[in-house]
Amino acid sequence: MKLKRGSRCTVCRSKGENKKAVVFLSHHRLALCKEHFITWFENRVERTIKEFRMFSRKDRILVAVSGGKDSLSLWNALVKLGYEADGLYINLGIGEYSEDSKRLSEDFAKRINRNLHIVDLKEEIASIPQITESVNKPACSACGSVKRYYMNKTAKELGYNIIATGHNLDDEVAVLFGNTLNWDIEYMRRQYPVLEEESGFIRKVKPLCKITEKESALYAVFNGIDYIEYECPFSEGASSIRYKEIWSQIEQQSPGSKLRFYTGFLKKMQPILKEKEKRESELRTCVVCGEPSFNEICSVCKLKQRLAQV
């Protein structure tokens, strides 16, 4: 996204104005001023929502808010675009990181005047550090299943029919790359910007899947959104961070590679995987809590049982 000195905004120029560009989107060959970057970002989100038929203005959307740039930018854009979008913050109980991200999420909700629902893991099950210590499970794997579980459960209880998450293009490319390295077909099959509602799961969507991490950070900065700028302490050493570094080198040498890799997968590979999809008839209901599960007892109830034993 290097900007040449003296570049002018492409959109302003087409209108006969001569405003200075502040950002250059190399893979779109666009130099934009602040105002037109914001419009470009929101249009791109809107187009993605339409392309994948994610939701309409009649739907009640719950945005999974972490206090980071992606989820707050997404929430801001959806509200500006006229969607009914509230937030859900899951307090993971990860010390200062959770305290800061909760405060920033609450401040932002007040600023845009929307509801922010809060689920406190300490009250529901246990904090992520407690879970990691008590049962021998890596933090991110426990965190992933617990977050998914409470997002789905809370959305249903509160009457929302869509969950929107802030996964961006870099996240999707890193996950796809990891799954490809391991040829993890089952995960690849489920990697799509929309996961339809089925047997107790409500629809999950990723409207930022074609927006890069840098673009979402810029959108946050240009809109004066205060977001948490440091990573969760458990993210250290995560393979996704390594994959992102590799991809940023590829992107530098060949702009547009990330988008091509991801959209190529969606267009060419996904239909093949979908065709082979064995219907998830195995999906049943957890005998303990009644939430959808692939096993007799869902992973969170199993976790609760193990925690009760220690």
Residue number with CB closer to ligand SF4 (235 or 249) = 235
From ligand SF4, Zn ion, none, interface partner of 140 (C-beta below 5 to 8 A by class): ligand SF4
Query: Which residues inside 33-92 make contact with Zn ion, applying CB under 5 A?
Result: 33, 36
Q: Which does 199 bind (CB under 5 to 8 A by kind): ligand SF4, Zn ion, none?
A: none
Residue 259 binds Zn ion (CB under 5 A): no
With respect to ligand SF4, which residue has the nearer C-beta, 79 or 232?
A: 232
Residue 33 touches which member of ligand SF4, Zn ion, none, C-beta under 5-8 Å by kind: Zn ion
Contacted by 298, from ligand SF4, Zn ion, none: CB < 5 to 8 Å by type: Zn ion
Query: Helices marked H in the chain — which ranges?
Result: 10-14, 34-51, 69-80, 95-112, 121-124, 128-134, 139-158, 169-181, 185-190, 213-222, 239-253, 257-264, 270-275, 299-309
Q: Any contact of residue 125 with Zn ion (CB under 5 A)? A: no
Backbone φ and ψ for 217, nearest 5 degrees, come out as -65, -45
Contacts of 132 (CB under 8 A, 6+ apart): 138, 139, 142
By beta-carbon proximity to Zn ion, the closer residue of 36 and 167 is 36
Tell me the DSSP string of 6-44: T-B-HHHHHTT--PBP-EEEGGGTEEE-HHHHHHHHHHH
Minimum gap (Å) between residue 219 Cβ and ligand SF4: 21
Does 301 participate in binding Zn ion (rule CB under 5 A)? yes
Q: Which helix (H) or strand (E) holds 231?
A: none
Amino acid of residue 75:
W
DSSP code of residue 233: G
Residues between 269 and 288 with contacts to Zn ion, criterion CB under 5 A: 286, 288
Residue 77 binds which one of Zn ion, ligand SF4, none, with CB within 5 to 8 A depending on kind? none
Spatial CB neighbours of 200, under 8 Å, sequence gap ≥ 6? 152, 156, 283, 285, 291, 292
Q: What angle do CA 139, 145, 151 make, to 5 degrees?
A: 120
Return the one option of ligand SF4, Zn ion, none that residue 269 interacts with (CB less than 5 to 8 A, by type).
none
Task: Kindly tell me which of 129 and 255 has the beta carbon lying closer to ligand SF4.
Answer: 129
Q: For tokens 């209901």, what's the residue?
A: 285
Using the structure block, give the residue that is written with the tokens 């077909």.
185
| Token digits of residue 288 | 């303990």
3-class secondary-structure state, position 118: strand
Positions that interact with ligand SF4 (CB under 6 A): 92, 128, 139-140, 143-144, 232, 234-235
* Interface characters, 4-43, with Zn ion (x: CB under 5 A): -----x-xx------x-------------x--x-------
221 binds, among ligand SF4, Zn ion, none (CB under 5 to 8 A by kind): none
Minimum distance from residue 45 beta carbon to ligand SF4 (Å): 23
Q: Which residues bind Zn ion (CB under 5 A)?
A: 9, 11-12, 19, 33, 36, 286, 288-289, 298, 301
